[in-house]
Amino acid sequence: MAEQENGASSGNGAENGAAASDGAKLRMHIMTQFVRDLSFENVLAQRGTGGEVTPDVQVSVNLDAKKRSTEHQYEVATKLNVTSKNKGSGEMLFVMELDYVGVFHVENVPEDQLHPFLLIECPRMIFPFIRRIVSDVTRDGGFPPLNLENIDFVQLYRNEIARRKSETGKQNADA
């Protein structure tokens, strides 16, 4: 299990001092993590074709967080959809879907900072496990292991907030 106090990252003294001045230290640790859903389809093998392929891999990431019935516990789901097509022909090589969940105990995070904390720091903590699963499944599925690059969860969060704002603005303009 991982536990962090005085901040989600090893911050500077100013961050630690701010937490200490409130009298309550930030506490976060992973209660458990698990694969909720996993599917891998080797389309190339089903077609019965082989030969030289140049894969073009696309990864989409969706995040979701919700409060559990237990106080201070949150469930954070990271959903990956990985597709690989042959660059030359555009034929599908494989499709992988993974829904990976971490259950976190989080205390003393200000309410206005809880949403970004859950959708940035929590997925960052469990990402190495997700990377390992994707690598193992693609290798076991008959392809070279797919080693995911780091995901910038801060930028992902900002993009989602911007998308929601533009969607809300568009709905208000239509009304």
- Name the architecture of domain 29-174: Roll (3.10)
**Pairing verdict, β 92-107 and 55-67:** unpaired
Q: What is the pTM of this model?
A: 0.80
pLDDT in tens, 112-162: 999 999 999 999 999 999 999 999 999 999 899 999 999 999 999 999 999
Token pair listed for 150: 């780091």
Give the helix ranges, DSSP H, for the chain. 13-21, 43-47, 111-116, 122-140, 153-174
